[in-house]
């Protein structure tokens, strides 16, 4: 006898990031430097909206809002545009909402 059951659609996504930090070196005022990382959904059955923010305004993201479903991924470009001299350390927060809300953080550094 064979039994089939549909996967539970309410299992929230588990996110994975392919980097724990990004480093932008030797950026001068007015420079535009870019790096990329990937956000992946490694398990779960929900479709969730993912939002990216940083804590100091020196960094921007493209896209900064996107949707992930199970086993999908999104390439994100981080742009660093320094507006003053000095080391700029920030934290990128990656928050998803669906079955639950999760937050991942990693460090970005530019100088």
Query: What is the per-residue pLDDT across 50-65, written as a single tens digit (0 to 9) for each?
Result: 777 777 777 888 998 8
Residue 99 in this model has a pLDDT that exceeds 50? no
The pTM is what?
Answer: 0.76
Q: What is the mean pLDDT of residues 5-29?
A: 72
Question: Is the pLDDT confidence value at 47 over 60?
Answer: yes
CA dihedral 104, 75, 41, 94 (to 10 degrees): 20
Is the pLDDT at 100 greater than 50? The verdict is no
| Furthest-apart CA atoms within the chain: distance in Å | 70
Res 70: pLDDT:
77
């Amino acid at each position: 006898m064979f039994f089939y059951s549909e996967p539970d659609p309410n299992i929230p996504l588990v996110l994975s990031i392919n980097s724990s930090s990004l480093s932008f070196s030797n950026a001068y005022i007015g420079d535009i430097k870019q790096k990329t990382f990937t956000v992946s959904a490694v398990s779960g059955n929900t479709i969730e909206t993912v939002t990216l923010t940083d804590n100091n305004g020196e960094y921007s993201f493209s896209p900064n809002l996107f949707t992930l479903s199970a086993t999908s991924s999104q390439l994100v470009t981080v742009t660093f545009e320094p507006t003053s001299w000095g080391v700029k350390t920030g934290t990128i927060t990656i928050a998803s909402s669906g079955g639950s809300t999760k937050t991942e953080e990693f460090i970005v550094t530019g100088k």
